[in-house]
Structure 1
Amino acid sequence: MNDIAILPAPTTPEAFYAFLDKLGIAHKTRTHAPVFTVAESVSLRDEIPGAHTKNLFVKDKKDRYFVLTVEENATVDLKAVHKVIGASGRVSFGRPEKMMEYLGVAPGSVTVFGAINDRAGNVTFVLDEDLMKHELINGHPLSNDATTSVSRDDLLRFLEATGHTPLVLKVTD
């Protein structure tokens, strides 16, 4: 049994940090006022180094779910991205109920770190190639009132430890 299977769902930020610690993943978290959009989080750039992310929770016509993690100011063509990620037909945004069920987060808090709650492997995680050029990557630690920084390589290790093999693809314009 893997370590993630014993965590209660949805995982709390504290349990998420403990999971990172157990994996030996260095991380730094800064708490701040809740931010729901990239525009609201701009003021944090000077305080938190590294690449800041935008995460899109989408589904295809066969109800396969994906989290697309890209740099905060990147553009994703939702009419064409299905060709890159291997989705069945065009993608649309996933419903908030599925976001909570699969990732354990509410709208405005979508994060690559939600993989810790997707124990059944319902979601494919896609990391943009341009994002992965950065050494330090930031995301919400399961709530939008904090930002957690990890290294690019440790982000990949985290995803693998949750049972997800991420796709690293060019999904931005």
Structure 2
Amino acid sequence: MLYPDADAKNLFVRDDTKRNYFLITVKGDKRVDLKGFRKENQTRPLSFASEADLLRLMDLIPGSFTPFGLLNNDGGQVNFFLDEEFLKEPGLVGIHSNENTATVWLKTLDLFEIIQEHGNEVATVPIPKRD
């Protein structure tokens, strides 16, 4: 792996109303505490979204979803949260290209620009490393 410190993993979750969806992208070595994330970001209770939701909202299948999948989400129903660690030097993020066959390395700020140009918001949040 070219930049192991910039490797990302993604969680696709929804709240208990099944109306609000979230893509959470974190450093590859982190585990996300959904209860803690909920409290910090003032969401309703969270759980993992279904394969059907992923296909319907981002036209992707499990294992292949990434922030690039937001480009398939024309309705803007998916809120994007990115681990603020990706802003630290060297400012890179490694994500799949909507297929789990390759990793694309790009500047984190370039990813922001691509997603924001599509009309989605980007929120950077602290995601503590959980043991």
The TM-score normalised by the length of structure 2 is 0.89
Corresponding residue number in structure 2 for 1:108: 63
Quick check: 1:57–1:66 contact (8 Å CA) kept in 2? Answer: yes
- Tell me the C-alpha RMSD between the 2 structures: 1.3
Q: Deviations over 1:87-146 (max 9, x none)?
A: 11x210000011111112101112111110010001000001112224221101111011
1:65 aligns with 2:30: no
Q: Provide the identity percentage.
A: 32
Corresponding residue number in structure 2 for 1:139: 95
1:159 aligns with 2:111: no
Corresponding residue number in structure 2 for 1:51: 6
1:58 Cα deviation after fit: 0.4
Could you tell me how far apart the structure 1 residues matched to 2:99 and 2:27 are?
18
Which amino acid in the other structure matches residue 36 of structure 2? A
Q: Is there any run of 5+ residues in structure 2 with no aligned partner, and where? A: none
Corresponding residue number in structure 2 for 1:128: 83
- Give the strand-richer structure, 1 or 2: 2
* Deviates further, 77-86 or 150-159: 77-86
Structure 1 runs of 4+ with >4 Å offset: none
Q: Deviations over 1:29-70 (max 9, x none)?
A: xxxxxxxxxxxxxxxx2xx23601010000111221000000
The TM-score normalised by the length of structure 1 is 0.69
Query: Paired residues, what number?
Result: 126
Corresponding residue number in structure 1 for 2:106: 150
Could you tell me how far apart the structure 1 residues matched to 2:46 and 2:6 are?
25
Q: Is there any run of 5+ residues in structure 1 with no aligned partner, and where? A: 1-44
Could you tell me how far apart the structure 2 residues matched to 1:130 and 1:136 are?
10
Q: The residue matched to 2:17 in structure 1 has which SS?
A: coil
